[in-house]
A and B are shown apart, each in its own frame.
Chain A
């Protein structure tokens, strides 16, 4: 996510440059070249090869300067080389179901799976957020390279947690993979980001990231 924010700020610089340039030119045209103080238009000012070349090359250069950090970030995001954990998030209409199947309980041969429903208004306790808090949420360890496998069992959903820089569609019949490393303990919210019917606004995602020891003890108790 930090990479995205930095890239966004980088691009915003160039955007502001262009917008200020255009607004400046329009206002100077409006102020200096209106009919009250410029009665005669420069009506032969129709061509200018050098100028046209300049204003073709100049946006190209700006785009190159935007593109290089953009590609770097894109290819960096793609590196899922040594994940430590896999979390499956499966979208249903209208809740998420999480499966942490790395952890095989060798006695019962069971893996961890649970559903995550939105808490409706009556069930909220003081301090919980409306439309964002859920009944059971995902615990993950901090500073671990986590691989998410996202799919859906009915219509297209989208697993999005903006503060972690994740957004990936949950297509039925397809497993999409993304990865994340959470650098600090905390709670991260997200919402489903692809229209999935009536309950589209009612499928939030809540991820809580804890220390590895707390995470392991949590797993053991499950």
Chain B
């Protein structure tokens, strides 16, 4: 008994079990990250002495840890580790990932990552540098405790995890497709994970370089970033943002894939123009590598440099627009069924568009002079992340959890979750646009009195968002203990997945989402004995 538990859960080589581990880990990290954001919002509810009683270093530590936990330990494991690991092999008809044991070490490297990052907060004073860890604030003079070093090591662990996972996904996508499936025939979700894997592979080493040089500057008396020794701090910024820009696309591209699948399934149509969707995702990924300095517009770059980055950043709006319009064309003409995952997907469309357009505003170097490092930037990236990637996670959860667990969730509880998180997150982040336009800087722990009103509304929204996380926990608990068993009838008949079989059987072109819904739920640990040899679901 003990041995089996060890084998199944600690030494697992089954992509489904590892994905479940990733999801549980990501939920845990998301709770940690949400609680940190609550601490921050409670401190910012009004000016003056509030929650943290003027312990500003703790506030700075909370900011940095909130970002690192949410990005590296919650969103990325949930989207790529959980959904990617579970559904990408199935989508291409593979039995498992290419390197199953590598998959396992990818997951287990995240655990020391969480431990290191949490200990950096607890040991000595904490790393109050922001998630960007700019030198010289993170240098040995300004942060002389080991907290920053622990953050760097924690990031090393998560980097190793993601890199190994990326290698795994790329090889699986190339080698393990079913016989009759070419690259362009892969479902959109599989494509999104494949593109994300390339982005990870090419950008994470640069982050590693950046933070390892920082580690050496701090501890081994090198001066890569120290001007007094002949280095330049700008090198760190360039290295970090060369990673940082593809990183945010890494977080959003899997959500694009999930939303594509869900929108198609619940409007009983295929995704409009799926080939151009693939090219759009690919070009977003590639363009993401050449636009990094739009995070550095105010650092004193040359004007010509700034104008180049302005234009390159604005170009990314074109493929993103193509995707949004293709999604709109997917749902128009369909027969939309408003399941909970469809609600989240539709909300994703609107809110990601809102976040994207504020990004276009920020991409202009001249306007960025007003908005850099203000709450306008915070509002922008929270709209695309917290209301984009996170909504994508919930879309995927509500879409796939009945067939993963074999248990249906309670629709009414889930709808309450949707309502709470929609209202809560909008109420939190919409006022931040106004704060930013009024000039409130980022990362400040206390502010002049004139910013009181919007901050109070924002904190109230944050409270609602935390309640929504609790509601999500209630939904999951209810699903696992009282959920109604999924039978084949409910799969093929309209309860949750009707659109999928219709979309798969008789259509020309590419079918996106048949396989997992054509199998009995919960999905078996080993679904295919051999790689799927023939896909009968499309005509080419």
Contact = CB atoms under 8 A, between A and B. Distances in A.
A158 B372 CA distance: 10
Contact of B56 (A44, A73, A189, A201): A201
A210 B21 CA distance: 65
Given A169-B300, A172-B227, A41 B329 contact: no
A50 to B, nearest CB: 12
Nearest to B233: A171
Contacts of A51: 329
Q: Which of B47, B310, B367, B443 has the most CB of A within 10 A?
A: B367
Given A74-B366, A156-B233, A173-B233, A55 B325 contact: yes
Interface in A150-186: 154-156, 158, 160, 162-163, 165-169, 171-174, 176-177
A15 B376 CA distance: 15
A153 to B, nearest CB: 10
B336 A63 contact: no
Contacts of B509: 46-47
B460 interface: no
Given A26-B350, A63-B318, A154 B141 contact: yes
A33 B274 CA distance: 21
B28 interface: no
A134 to B, nearest CB: 12
Interface stretch (A16-24, A106-114, A213-221): A16-24
A49 to B, nearest CB: 9
Contact of B444 (A3, A35, A201): A201
Contacts of A43: 268-270, 502-503, 507
B353 A19 contact: yes
B355 to A, nearest CB: 11
A131 B374 contact: no
Contact of B354 (A19, A35, A197): A19
A170 to B, nearest CB: 9
Contacts of B444: 191, 200-201
Interface stretch (A64-72, A95-103, A135-143): A64-72
Contact of A45 (B298, B333, B443): B333
B330 to A, nearest CB: 9
Contacts of B365: 70, 74
| Chain B residues touching A, range | 35 or more
A169 B295 CA distance: 12
Nearest to A72: B366
B123 interface: no
Contact of B367 (A4, A93, A156): A4
B351 to A, nearest CB: 10
A116 interface: no
Contact of A195 (B267, B274, B364, B443): B443
Contacts of B234: 171, 174
B442 interface: yes
Contacts of A196: 137
B332 A29 contact: yes
B233 A38 contact: no
Contacts of B508: 44
- The secondary-structure label for the interface of chain A is mixed
B349 interface: yes
Contact of B334 (A41, A172, A194, A198): A41
Contact of B333 (A33, A132, A201): A33
Nearest to B368: A167
Contacts of B443: 195, 200
B536 interface: no
A198 B60 contact: yes
A193 B328 contact: no
Interface stretch (B128-136, B160-168, B206-214, B385-393): B128-136
Contacts of A77: 303, 366, 369
Nearest to B132: A195
Interface in B330-363: 331-338, 346, 349-350, 353-354, 357-358, 360-361
A132 to B, nearest CB: 5
B373 interface: yes
Nearest to A196: B137
Interface stretch (B112-120, B445-453, B485-493): B445-453
A195 B127 CA distance: 12
Contacts of A172: 136, 227, 233
Nearest to B446: A201
A81 interface: no
Given A67-B310, A167-B370, A15 B357 contact: yes
A126 interface: no
B441 A70 contact: no
A131 B439 CA distance: 14
A12 to B, nearest CB: 8
B529 interface: no
A7 B350 contact: no
A47 B446 CA distance: 53
B105 to A, nearest CB: 35
B353 A56 contact: no
A132 B141 CA distance: 28
Contacts of A35: 335-338
Contacts of A200: 56, 60, 443-445
Contacts of A1: 370
B307 interface: yes
B137 A33 contact: no
A42 interface: yes
Contact of A191 (B134, B346, B372, B441): B441
Given A43-B502, A129-B449, A155-B137, 16 more contacts: A11-B360, A19-B353, A22-B349, A33-B332, A46-B507, A59-B322, A70-B364, A131-B448, A158-B441, A167-B298, A171-B299, A174-B300, A193-B374, A195-B60, A195-B63, A201-B446
Closest 6 pairs between A and B when the two form their complex, measured CB to CB: A173-B227, A201-B444, A176-B300, A42-B333, A162-B439, A41-B268
Interface of A: 1, 3-4, 7-8, 11-12, 15, 18-19, 22-23, 25-26, 28-30, 33-35, 38-48, 51-52, 55-56, 59-60, 63, 66-67, 70-71, 73-75, 77-78, 93, 129-132, 154-156, 158, 160, 162-163, 165-169, 171-174, 176-177, 189-201
16 contacts: A30-B346, A35-B336, A46-B507, A47-B509, A131-B447, A156-B134, A158-B373, A165-B369, A165-B370, A167-B372, A168-B298, A193-B298, A193-B373, A198-B60, A199-B56, A201-B444
